[in-house]
Structure 1
Amino acid sequence: MKLIAVTTKRQMRDFIRVPQRLFGSHPCYVPPIWLDEANAYTKKANPILRNSDFQLFLLLDDAQKPIGRTIAYIDYTFNKYYQSKIGFFGAFECIDDAEAASLLVRSAEEWLKERGMDAVRGPIHPVAENWGFVLEGNDTPPVYLSPWNPAYYHDFFTTTGYEKVKDLLVYEADMAKGYEIPKRHEDFAERFLARYPGITIRRLDMKHLRDDARAIWEISNTALADNWGYVPLELPVMEDMLKKLKLIVDPDAVWMVEHEGKPVGFCLGFPDINILLKKINGNLLPFGWARLLLGVKKLRDYRLFGLAVDPAWHKRALDALMYIHLYQNLRPKNIRMEANYILEDNLHIKNALERLGMQRTKTYRIYEKPLFK
């Protein structure tokens, strides 16, 4: 086996295609949008990597065929915010071989140590924007912007000094299987709006997307500031995320809450286009884009990606108002909604989802290891 640092276009193509090469025939594998992936690991195209140092590693077998990959990176925005020296790894893929995995992991560790990092944490994927290895629930495909991996990945890390640093949870509500909001919540919205007459709730304004992106950015950076691992987003990162979702957005799944005209909360859901990406094999050309745009309106699988409330409105059940509104507008479509991710120690959100009758279905695990002992 041979490990190389990616420096050429050919090596980059091989790096990008490693997951497909290893798991393309697995029923849970979903390809990315290849047009996006081609330039995603660059400072120019990726707002997270723009503020990072990073190195891509590609592992080849004796026949020079790719059998593994990872990225090591230093997110300077993160370390400045937390006054830390933590390096990250992500985009990890490997055959079921401990020696192969060790070459990838040790190379990432050494690269980070040489640059003064005290610890390594991951997987946190700076391109696919997903966190953790699937620990429970890897027998079902991932929703859009969430990970999937074979179960054996965990052994590569638990046997080499890595320990759990955080679990992320997934909850599900499937209306086709009879899910309904508990009866006691049916008139909640009416009661809430009567109590707070200055509150209005509206759909995302596609004609003024930049304005709503700024509102979501401002709310996120105040409401989520104390969440584990959260780093205040720069506006271009939020704009980039909404730009990715623009073509697939369902107006019934994205809601803004305002109090006397000022945004105070949002919930962001979207159809799970992974179902369609699998059918078109990630290829938008020549006709995949048309199948994607036509097919998205027929999807019944959704992801609740984000929900946040201005701190001034905490403990007033504004989050419940948005979820119930989301449910009432999507109910005619008989959807399955996956709330993904929920921090394991975010008891407020966990308890709220469980009170609303949602069931826990998956767990993702993030690991960390000190680099100096």
Structure 2
Amino acid sequence: MPVSDKRGRARFVDCGRAFSDRLPHFVPQLRSEQLELIDPAKNPFFGHGRAQFFIATRGGRDVGRISAHIDDLALAMPAEQGFGPGTGFFGYFDASDEAVAHALLAAADAWLRAEGMQRMMGPISLSIWEEPGLLVRGQDHAPMIMMGHHPAAYAGWIESAGLGRAQTLFTYELDISKEFPPLVQRIVKSGERNARINVRQVDKSRWDDEVAIVLGILNDAWSDNWGFVPFTPAEVAYAGKKLRPIIFEELNMIAEVDGKPVAFMLTFPDINMVLAKIRGKLFPFGWFHLLRWLRHPKGAGMRVPLMGVVKELHNSRLASQLAFMMISAIRNEAHGTFGSTRGEIGWILEDNQGMVAIADTIESHINREYAIYAKPIA
């Protein structure tokens, strides 16, 4: 059944939370944050997108959920970049069995068809910048911040409904207590001797300016990537407000060449570490543990969710050098200042040869695999 009002959205969120609670290694998120993400009055995604949420019931019990949504910015992208005209999405997918899964996917298909779409793709919940993909490998350990976690059975149910894999995303794990290989160290030292290059920490006292710099580089650097959708100023402001408490200057870098910002790398301490402890609940005492952790997340895992180098430097030695310099600076701070031993990079597109090469060179390894599926709408 479709839901749209405040009460229905709350039921939709609680349905998903009930599924997650039964999943090994899942980390419950804050319910208030989950409600906000699907609220058209609060999430700026709805400034360029629209969605319909569905809940499946059986015998008076909620047995699954799904969203069907359309992103006008994705519709405007070239088809060869993955989305484009006629592409709608599904997300927030949970089901108790294969029959429920097929019914939910059919409901999303019907809604998208009625809206004029010719193809359904997902799961993407709701934006490519939020939680893209279905976890198909890596269920044996907990996800890091802002990464989805799904039962292994979901992939087979989606595929048996006629969807095929459109894209594969990887995350890479590395031991940041170890020095990087000698080759990387030589590249970093060479860059440090280059007077044209300056790798600096993000300055939170100039927050709005720094956010604008990162947005400019991001929208340029990623503009030719599969699945790219422009990050709007409203979304940047929203994300900046949400993420600011976990932005530590030592862990976020901007690289400049001849005084011009040309690259960035963001790193978030893994807040899932404390959310697991408080079971995603702020009350009665969760807020105390969360605030204490935010003051100094000692020993937390570190995730690099985003990095970018301006297009004019793509496929150049300088681009790789800047990436290694930022990674090295962040590794030193993460391990030396915060006592972290585990890092994660991603997600990374399977066919992003440059990033895959960097991940391989620093001796990281794939620890989680996500799939995005697609099918024509009948």
Please report the TM-score for the alignment, with normalisation by the length of structure 2. Answer: 0.92
Tell me what 2:133 maps to: 132
Q: 1:359: Cα distance to partner?
A: 1.2
Partners of 2:215 and 2:307 in 1: CA distance:
12
| Secondary structure of 2:44's aligned partner | coil
Greater Cα offset, 122-131 or 15-24: 122-131
**Which residue among 322, 336, 346 is the counterpart of 1:340?**
346
Q: 1:286: Cα distance to partner?
A: 4.3
Matches within 5 A, 1:106-121: 106-121=106-121
Greater Cα offset, 203-212 or 186-195: 186-195
Tell me what 1:331 maps to: 335
1:54-75 Cα distance to aligned partner (Å, 9 max, x none): 100011221x222211110010
Tell me what 1:204 maps to: 202
Structure 1 alignment gaps of length 5 or more: none
Partners of 1:9 and 1:311 in 2: CA distance:
43
Q: 1:117: Cα distance to partner?
A: 0.4
Tell me what 1:238 maps to: 236
Greater Cα offset, 225-234 or 247-256: 247-256
Whether 1:79 aligns to 2:75 is: yes
Number of residue equivalences? 364
Tell me what 1:303 maps to: 303
Q: Are the counterparts in 1 of residues 299 and 340 from structure 2 also a CA contact under 8 Å? A: no
Q: Which amino acid aligns with 1:233?
A: F
| Secondary structure of 1:308's aligned partner | strand
**In structure 2, do the counterparts of structure 1 residues 244 and 299 end up closer, same or farther at CA, with 3 Å as the change threshold?**
farther
Tell me what 1:229 maps to: 227
| Secondary structure of 1:265's aligned partner | strand
Whether 1:166 aligns to 2:164 is: no
Partners of 2:368 and 2:14 in 1: CA distance:
26
1:20-71 Cα distance to aligned partner (Å, 9 max, x none): 2123143322222112222321222111122112100011221x22221111
Partners of 1:298 and 1:192 in 2: CA distance:
30
* Aligned-residue CA RMSD (Å): 1.7
| Secondary structure of 1:173's aligned partner | strand
| Secondary structure of 2:280's aligned partner | coil
Q: 1:352: Cα distance to partner?
A: 1.2
Partners of 1:214 and 1:28 in 2: CA distance:
36
| Secondary structure of 1:39's aligned partner | helix
Partners of 2:11 and 2:221 in 1: CA distance:
40
Tell me what 2:98 maps to: 98
Q: Which amino acid aligns with 1:329?
A: E
Q: Which amino acid aligns with 1:115?
A: E
**Which residue among 270, 273, 278 is the counterpart of 2:271?**
273
Q: Are the counterparts in 1 of residues 302 and 334 from structure 2 also a CA contact under 8 Å? A: no
Structure 2 alignment gaps of length 5 or more: 79-83
1:85-135 Cα distance to aligned partner (Å, 9 max, x none): 10000111111x111111111000000001110100000011781111111
Q: Are the counterparts in 1 of residues 37 and 43 from structure 2 also a CA contact under 8 Å? A: yes
**In structure 2, do the counterparts of structure 1 residues 130 and 14 end up closer, same or farther at CA, with 3 Å as the change threshold?**
same
Q: 1:214: Cα distance to partner?
A: 0.7
Partners of 2:20 and 2:259 in 1: CA distance:
49
Tell me what 2:41 maps to: 44
Partners of 1:255 and 1:137 in 2: CA distance:
29
1:192-238 Cα distance to aligned partner (Å, 9 max, x none): 1323x132222111112111111111001111111100112112212
**Which residue among 5, 20, 24 is the counterpart of 2:21?**
24
Q: Which amino acid aligns with 2:63?
A: I
Q: 1:137: Cα distance to partner?
A: 0.9
Q: Are the counterparts in 1 of residues 69 and 89 from structure 2 also a CA contact under 8 Å? A: yes
Q: Which amino acid aligns with 2:160?
A: T
Tell me what 2:6 maps to: 9
Q: Which amino acid aligns with 2:67?
A: I
Partners of 2:85 and 2:207 in 1: CA distance:
35
Query: Sequence identity, in percent?
Result: 29
Q: Are the counterparts in 2 of residues 272 and 299 from structure 1 also a CA contact under 8 Å? A: no
Q: Are the counterparts in 1 of residues 70 and 88 from structure 2 also a CA contact under 8 Å? A: yes
Whether 1:61 aligns to 2:67 is: no
